[in-house]
Structure 1
Amino acid sequence: MTALVAVSMLLAGCDITPADLHGLPKDAAERATVCGRAALAYTAAGSGKGATEEKRRQDLLQKVVDATNFFSATGLDDAKGKALLGDLKATLAGGNWLATLNNCKAAYALGDAEPLPKLPDDPETKPAACAAVAVASAFGDGTMDIATIQKKVLTNPQSSYFLIAAAGQDGGLAAAQNAMASQIEWAIGSGAVGPLTDACLKEYPKAAATTAVALPADAGQAAAACSFSVGLFREMTGTEGDTAKAVQKKMATANVIPDLELATSSKKLIAQALDLGPPANVLKACDARFK
């Protein structure tokens, strides 16, 4: 990167703050670092895609470093600048570097946006992919421990909703968890968790519900929904597990009988759950419903 140092010296002192930051940091050094790391992650992801594409990405990295005046903005020499750019752990774990790169390209007029990955077309794979995207977004610490992820996934409104949608594809919850787990590496490696999240919420708008769930007025239908929700959370530790156990006791005390048609059909229970919204929100509504 010796050439980068020369370029930075030529540009030193110039105000190159874009008129439109496209959501990037206002601080020049932070912005240059974020953009440089995103471009470096994109360059690394191009390995094995052919010499022409690899060179295109390397050239783009150079353009980003030049445009952001990286070395002047950060005040670093060649060695320290390389080290700062190469510290990609948080960038890669966040899973949104491609979207960041496109923001950088737009801010500095560096050409068209790079193509973003799309959700799978297969209706059986799509909800599992969305669950994986939600996990990557909510737990962007880089963990790939599947057991840890599966314990956390139900507590996140979006990932739990998508997991239930995946369970509706004939395989049940265990198969849905496995399908989701198989997509997590793709979700993180996509570099586009943000845009993919938007795509998932467009596909499944009720996953974005943040308001309180309105349970069915019919006691039997409400009890069926609550029994389903209790079953999801009852074995968990922490707040959700405690709430689920409390709801189960309240329902037993109230002597409410779940609607038989719903209670005996997993497909209908899942359809009802998806109509109501995120399972954690349903559990809260059940806790409020039964005294």
Structure 2
Amino acid sequence: MRPVLSVVLGASLLLVGCGTRSTDFSDLPGDAAERAKLCFGAAQTFRKAGADAGVDAAELARRQSIESEMREATLIDDFVPAGAWEAFDVEANRQLNTGNWLLDLNRCKIGYGIGEPEPLPSLPEDEGDRLFVCAMASAIKARGSDVSRPIILQHDPQGFHFAHMLVGREGVDRLASRMTDVHRAGGRILLQGAVDSFVDRCVEEHPTAALDHPVQLPEEEPLRAGICSYVSGALIGGGADNPLRGEYLPRVERLAVPLGRAGEGISPAELRLLEQEIEKKVGALGPSTSIFAACEKAYLGDASIT
């Protein structure tokens, strides 16, 4: 006969192995209610996104199973009263609009010990499509789901850079064509739930897109002044809808005087040629804010505003 202690210990280990999950909440909110809402919301969005994308019945059933497991593991029903589910759904939709719900889901699956993390979506193979996704993902990261107008690429420094890389590759008309249905393009990216992952991979592939990338401006004038004027316009254009305008308007005004002197005497014909060259050159330099900082240093020196 086995010793009583061995029997009890063996039974206890069996119960632990079968009845509980290994949990690790170190990468999740510490508050149980906040964590439950985040994680169940991510699982719910995962299921809804699959339905919206038209996944097959087996995949939809798998997603429903993950949602059910997350419901049980998080004890979400203890934190959301019966009459508060409508408000919870509103919050879950907000989570969808951040574009990172799949990343949240994977953190939650790891945290609650629910299966393996979901594979992250890949960037398109075609380089033009890839750069466009990089531009849109950067803008979504900066602005959330407010991507209904093409000007959003102008208002995000990294989105500006990727968009102008695309202009250098395909021309401005092709970019304009891609932007004709910017709302739908943004929606497709949001539905993949991995905006931050897209941006990280885009910057890894194109280090010039890093916000701290040092920019080397061309020395020749009036090209350098033209680039600085072009970027200045991007940083303050769009009125109150531009989140960069408040910070950059006084800086642009200060830079305008030396830029005006550098651009004196250019004929209209020269200006048209210069504009075409600027659109191509800008895409090789970096984010708009980094270019502008280099412009301040070039024209204002120690008097530049940092």
In structure 2, what is the equivalent of residue 170 of structure 1? 171
| 1:66 and 2:72 correspond | yes
Would the alpha carbon gap of residues 265 and 144 (structure 1) be closer, same or farther in structure 2, given more than 3 Å must change? Answer: closer
CA RMSD of aligned residues (A): 3.3
Residue segments in structure 1 that go unaligned for 5+ positions in a row: 1-13
Assess if the C-alpha contact under 8 Å between 1:234 and 1:241 holds in 2: yes
Structure whose residues are more often helix by fraction? 2
In structure 1, what is the equivalent of residue 102 of structure 2? 98
Correspondence 1:1-291 to 2 at 5 A: 18-21=23-26, 23-47=27-51, 48-72=54-78, 74=79, 76-77=80-81, 79-80=82-83, 82-83=85-86, 85-87=88-90, 88-140=92-144, 142-146=145-149, 150-168=150-168, 169-172=170-173, 174-175=176-177, 177-178=179-180, 181-210=183-212, 213-230=215-232, 232-233=234-235, 235-237=237-239, 238-239=245-246, 240=248, 243-244=251-252, 246-254=254-262, 264=273, 268-291=277-300
Offset at 1:34?
Answer: 0.3
State the one-letter code of the partner of 1:250: P
State the one-letter code of the partner of 1:70: I
Offset at 1:254?
Answer: 4.3
Assess if the C-alpha contact under 8 Å between 2:25 and 2:111 holds in 1: yes
Q: What percentage of residue pairs aligned between the two structures are identical?
A: 28
Assess if the C-alpha contact under 8 Å between 1:42 and 1:97 holds in 2: yes
Assess if the C-alpha contact under 8 Å between 2:109 and 2:117 holds in 1: yes
Tell me how far apart the structure 2 counterparts of residues 158 and 192 of structure 1 sit (CA, whole Å): 17
Aligned length: 269
Whichever of the two has the greater Rg, that structure is 2
Offset at 1:97?
Answer: 0.7
State the one-letter code of the partner of 2:286: G
Would the alpha carbon gap of residues 178 and 214 (structure 1) be closer, same or farther in structure 2, given more than 3 Å must change? Answer: same
Offset at 1:171?
Answer: 3.1
- Aligned to 2:105, the other structure's residue is in SS state helix
Offset at 1:227?
Answer: 4.0
State the one-letter code of the partner of 1:95: G
Query: Structure 2 length as normaliser, TM-score?
Result: 0.74
In structure 2, what is the equivalent of residue 5 of structure 1? none
Offset at 1:49?
Answer: 1.9
Tell me how far apart the structure 1 counterparts of residues 171 and 190 of structure 2 sit (CA, whole Å): 26
Tell me how far apart the structure 2 counterparts of residues 262 and 205 of structure 1 sit (CA, whole Å): 31
Residue segments in structure 2 that go unaligned for 5+ positions in a row: 1-18, 240-244, 301-306
